[in-house]
Amino acid sequence: MSASFERLVDGIIDALQSHVVPNSNDDFVRGQVFSAIYALNGLKLAADWKAGPLLEQVRLQDDTFAAVKRLADGITHPEIPAMPRLPSDLSDAAAIEALRDDGDRRLGQLLLWASGADARAANRDLATGIEQLLRRSICDQLKIELATTPKSMLQQIAGGERDGGAAQG
């Protein structure tokens, strides 16, 4: 989903105000929409992304860094951060997300290194093993995100179809 929770809520409110309200002549429907907008404004002030999946991703990244560090011992490689990266008292979703994004950049540097000519020249088999490990781990990280992704509604979204079935929560 969209990276910024607040921006996403703003976009939903704008879509309702700009496209739904002007096209509804039914007072009850308009009442529902304005109530939804009010509720969304409340969410914007009080809510944020769930921290759980982000924490799980950061922990998985840390496990991967530790494994790469063990395997790549003695070879020159991109910097691996000191672990654990998560302070025990960190609960702010935005801060955890920033940590996850930083971890992704570092994993990317390691993956580019492991699949590059220098690492292959130093130890081809080891480099290949590290590359495979990193790819598997990054895919596992994506699985965590998939678990929080709702079922696709592409057909209804693209075509605006009325009878495409209700969105499930």
Distances (CA, A) of 99 to 86, 134, 141: 8, 18, 14
Let me know if 103 is exposed, middle or buried by CB neighbors in 10 A (0-12, 13-18, 19+).
buried
Q: Which amino acid is at 97?
A: E
Which tokens in the block code for residue 6?
């607040």
Nearest of 54, 18, 27, 30 to residue 147 by alpha carbon:
54
Three-state SS at 9: helix
What CA–CA distance (Å, rounded) separates 151 from 34? 27
Scan residues 63-102 and list those touching another protein (CB under 8 A): 101
Beta carbon of residue 24, minimum distance to another protein (angstroms, whole number):
17
Scan residues 28-57 and list those touching another protein (CB under 8 A): none
From the list 5-13, 26-34, 44-52, 68-76, the region that binds another protein by CB under 8 A is: 5-13
From the list 32-40, 43-51, 77-85, 130-138, the region that binds another protein by CB under 8 A is: 130-138
Task: Choose which of 87, 160, 163, 169 interacts with another protein (CB under 8 A).
Answer: 160
Site residues (CB under 8 A) for another protein?
A: 1-4, 7-8, 11-12, 14-15, 18, 101, 104-105, 107-108, 111-112, 115, 134-135, 138-139, 142-143, 145-146, 149-150, 152-155, 157-160
